[in-house]
Amino acid sequence: MSEKLKVAVVKMTGCAGCQMEFLRLEDEFMDLLDKVDISYWYMARSNNVETKYDAVFIEGSISTPRELKEVKEFRNNSDILVAFGDCACSGCIPSILNWIPPKESAKVYDHFSAVHENMPTFQKILPLSEYVEVDAEIRGCPPHKDMILEVVKSVLMKRKPFLRSHPVCVECKLKENVCLLTAENRPCMGPTTSGGCGAICPSINRVCEGCYGPMSDSNAKSLADVFKEKCKVDKEDIVRKFRKYAGYTSALIEEADN
Amino acid sequence: MTSQQNIKVDYIARVEGQGRLQIEVADGIVKDAKFGIFEPPRFFESFLVGRKYNEVHELTSRICGICQAPHQIVSLRAIENALGLEISEQTRELRRLLNFANHLQSHTLNLYMLAAPDYLKYDSAISMAGEHLDLVKKALMLKKLGNDISEVVGGRAIHPVTALLGGFTELPTKIQLEELKKRLQSALQDGLETIEIFSKLNIPDFERNFEQISLVCKDVYPINEGRLCSTKGLDIDESEYRDKIEEKDVGHSWAKHSFVTGRDSFLVGPLARFNLNFSTLGDKSKNAAEQIGFKPTVNQPFKNLVARAIELLNYIEYSINTIESLIPLKDEIVVQGDVKPKAGVGSAITEAPRGILYHNFELDEKGIVKKVDIVTPTAHNAANVENDLKEYVPTLQDLSVEEATLKCEMLVRAYDPCISCSVHMIKLE
């Protein structure tokens, strides 16, 4: 390949954990720089030149009109636009706010209404795909660095990235874990959650909390029923479970809404 | 620059988050210096209300992708304080190791990747790699070491998963810990070299008389707990934080500004910790500091970089000691759901890489969160950055506007702000 890939890493409203995971490619970093020109990345460099990109990684959620304008510009200037991490893919934890009426939130702060009047923020945290066309989603809070590498490679090789669509359960079985849901009646989100993490939590005797967002064709209702009938979890706790990393996605919203 | 030229940076590069600088100069005097934080708020203190006591640390971890471990630890401690829950010595040591590792990766990131390019005249660590490959490789190695310790202790490097109320769900193995110890021992030399590198940079010696605040412990360098002390006589328990530290809204920033009751802005972070805890630095770190003539009390904000380099070695030393005291590990595991809820109020302060981090929660009898108060290191530092700039900019009259602007950015980067963390609710004019 003669020319390097032009890449931008862009932060919207979020915690920078996805960017930190990108920087966690410590072993691969120098090789990556042979193939990739990171021409825009505010956290990592000055002289950020806005130009045309081969791929743009968008971290964080869109929460102001300014951010929406920026993301649209990046969409227009890039061949590939990647929703990078849960905030961009599903709204992540900040989307819990979607169920709290501003009047309720106002009780927590002294000057809540002043903020909404004077500096426009959106009332709802929505997936990036609600605003612009998204070519690839790297799920996870944070997404594992191998998935970032997979997307970079796929752009370099001009092929579709292999991103997992199977549930965490597949990875749990590969690790030969005892199933926390069926064997111990513990409310594990694994059956509806995208794999990619390597089933970290069930492997250390913690139920999956769903931090990679919903898998494709997940059956959230059935899982909620199992939580209720088999795990004896009360309704409020079930709602809290579904209203966490991806509550506002179409796959989980019904259970999160209850 | 002329005596009328303003300084403006629309988006400060090489810091975490979205922030800007606006400095208004007239007749050589700074009329106004604004460190504006335009990163939008995420309303954590609002949506945490109604969530459960045992998931709070998992949620607050997401306030920051760089200092996730201190956010988790301080939430766990605050809620344990609310529940009156005691933890074992081993859990305390494991949490210390987890936080040392977090500081190690974060300090490496700031020193080598965010700050050093300014002094070596590059726009990034990426372009620095051409002529200073050794530095970049050292940075990647140290950062990886920090991340790997977090992964072994925390189960995941970013947003760890093993730490729960009362303890850990899984413990590292002896083999894993011994392997890490070996790597830490060989990193001691890199820590020493880091101090040497940063002590030789042409770091501005701008000085200002400000208060500095950090945790202080009697026998050890503070990390997760201690008394809250300052260079001007503050000495309080973490539960008394709100009696002495106040906040005010400012119109130009999404972060509130902190000040000591009846006094002024203050500095938190590596320099404050160094100045207040020189006596408990590890032996090698203390020797190295003395050799370069770096001794308390330093009131030069740019020298945060030197203090950060000394701390980097210090955390390597302390991590080795912590691992030694952890072996042999006792088989103490907590199971999710073991800790039962109770009504109460609890607060805690922990050192994050950028300084003191305060969390306070009120719980009802079912363990549902009723009230939240969080103040982050960058919110603590924000007012001090502005006060520094007001005195610093008039000393830059001989420079071009471009050079003066860069110096102001370098001052901000010396604080290593973590802007996403600091964003809070404010009243806007």
Q: What is the ipTM metric for this complex? A: 0.95
Do B65 and A109 make contact, defined as CB atoms within 8 angstroms? no
Residue B198 in tokens:
């940063």
Q: Is residue B428 part of a domain?
A: no
Q: Is residue B1 part of a domain?
A: no
CATH code, domain carrying B26 = 1.10.645.10
Closest CA to A186 of A241, A141, A131: A241
Query: Contacts of residue B183 in chain A, CB cutoff 8 Å?
Result: none
Q: Which residue of A has its CA nearest to B139?
A: A26
- Return the HEC string of B181-237: HHHHHHHHHHHHHHHHHHHHCCCCCCCCCCEEEEEECCCCCCCCCCEEEECCCCEEC
pLDDT score for B429 = 28
Do B126 and A11 make contact, defined as CB atoms within 8 angstroms? no
Q: For chain B, give the mean pLDDT.
A: 95
Query: Contacts of residue A237 in chain B, CB cutoff 8 Å?
Result: 52
Q: Is residue B388 part of a domain?
A: yes
Instruction: Please state, for a pLDDT cut of 70, what percent of chain A lies above it.
Output: 91
Determine the residue type at B120: L
Asked if B143 has any chain A CB less than 8 Å from its own CB, the reply is: yes
Q: Each residue of B199-211: pLDDT tens digit?
A: 999 999 999 999 9
pLDDT score for B428 = 32
Q: Each residue of B245-258: pLDDT tens digit?
A: 999 888 787 788 99
Averaged over A26-31, what is the pLDDT? 93
d(CA B408, CA B326) in angstroms, rounded, equals: 44
pLDDT score for A121 = 65
**Domains of chain A, start order:** 5-156 (3.40.50.700), 168-257 (no CATH)
Q: Each residue of A168-178: pLDDT tens digit?
A: 999 999 999 99
Least confident of A19-28, A109-118, B73-82: A109-118
Query: Is the sign of the CA dihedral A48, A53, A54, A55 positive or negative?
Result: positive
Q: Is residue B429 part of a domain?
A: no
Q: Is the pLDDT of residue B43 over 90?
A: no
Burial readout B316-349 (b: 16 or more C-beta within 10 A, e: otherwise)? bbbbbbbbeebeeeeeeebebeebebeebebbbb
Q: Each residue of B88-118: pLDDT tens digit?
A: 999 999 999 999 999 999 999 999 999 999 9
pLDDT confidence bin for A113, thresholds 50/70/90: very low
Chain B nearest-CA distance from A212, in A, is 13
Do A46 and B123 make contact, defined as CB atoms within 8 angstroms? yes
Percentage helix, strand, coil, to 5, in chain B? Answer: 45, 20, 35
Q: Each residue of B156-166: pLDDT tens digit?
A: 999 999 999 99
Query: Is the sign of the CA dihedral A141, B326, B308, B213 positive or negative?
Result: positive
Choose from B158, B256, B372 for mutation: most chain A CBs within 10 A: B158
Q: Is residue B427 part of a domain?
A: no
Q: Indicate the pTM of the whole model.
A: 0.96
Do B46 and A45 make contact, defined as CB atoms within 8 angstroms? no
Q: In chain B, what is the straight-line distance between the N-terminal and C-terminal CA atoms, in Å? A: 31
Residue A98 in tokens:
């979607």
d(CA B239, CA B345) in angstroms, rounded, equals: 10
Query: Contacts of residue A104 in chain B, CB cutoff 8 Å?
Result: 46
Q: Is residue B4 part of a domain?
A: no
In chain B, the number of structural domains is 1
Asked if A207 has any chain B CB less than 8 Å from its own CB, the reply is: yes
Q: Give the list of residues 6+ apart from residue B244 with CB closer than 8 angstroms, or none.
A: B228, B234, B236, B260, B261
Q: Is the pLDDT of residue A116 over 50?
A: no
Q: Which residue segment(s) compose the domain that B65 sits in?
A: 9-422
Instruction: Please state, for a pLDDT cut of 70, what percent of chain B lies above it.
Output: 99
Instruction: List all residues of chain A from 146 to 185 with a beta carbon under 8 Å from chain B.
Output: none
d(CA B214, CA B357) in angstroms, rounded, equals: 10
Averaged over B185-193, what is the pLDDT? 98
Using an 8 Å Cβ cutoff, are B421 and B379 in contact?
A: yes
Instruction: List all residues of chain A from 73 to 112 with a beta carbon under 8 Å from chain B.
Output: 92-94, 96-97, 100, 104-105, 108-112
Using an 8 Å Cβ cutoff, are B344 and B82 in contact?
A: yes
φ, ψ at A55 (rounded to 5°): -150, 140
Asked if A19 has any chain B CB less than 8 Å from its own CB, the reply is: yes
Do B65 and A94 make contact, defined as CB atoms within 8 angstroms? no
Q: Is the pLDDT of residue B425 over 70?
A: no
Using an 8 Å Cβ cutoff, are B317 and B222 in contact?
A: no
Chain A nearest-CA distance from B234, in A, is 28
d(CA B320, CA B393) in angstroms, rounded, equals: 42
Choose from A4, A9, A19, A20 for mutation: most chain B CBs within 10 A: A20
DSSP B111: I
The edge-to-edge listing of strands for the beta sheet with B369-375 is B344-352, B355-363, B369-375
Beta strand segments in A49-100, E: 53-59, 78-84
Q: Is residue B3 part of a domain?
A: no
d(CA B274, CA A105) in angstroms, rounded, equals: 39
Query: Contacts of residue A206 in chain B, CB cutoff 8 Å?
Result: 161-162, 164, 169, 336
Q: Each residue of A63-73: pLDDT tens digit?
A: 888 899 999 99
Using an 8 Å Cβ cutoff, are A58 and A83 in contact?
A: yes
Chain B nearest-CA distance from A247, in A, is 13
Instruction: List all residues of chain B from 224 to 283 with a beta carbon under 8 Å from chain A.
Output: 249, 254
**Which residues on neighbouring strands pair with residue B166, listed in sequence order?**
none
Q: Is residue B218 part of a domain?
A: yes
Q: Is the pLDDT of residue A136 over 90?
A: yes
Write the burial class of residue B219 (CB in 10 Å: 0-12 exposed, 13-18 middle, 19+ buried): exposed
Dihedral angle computed from the Cα positions of residues B227, B230, B234 and B238, in that order, rounded to the nearest 10 degrees? -30
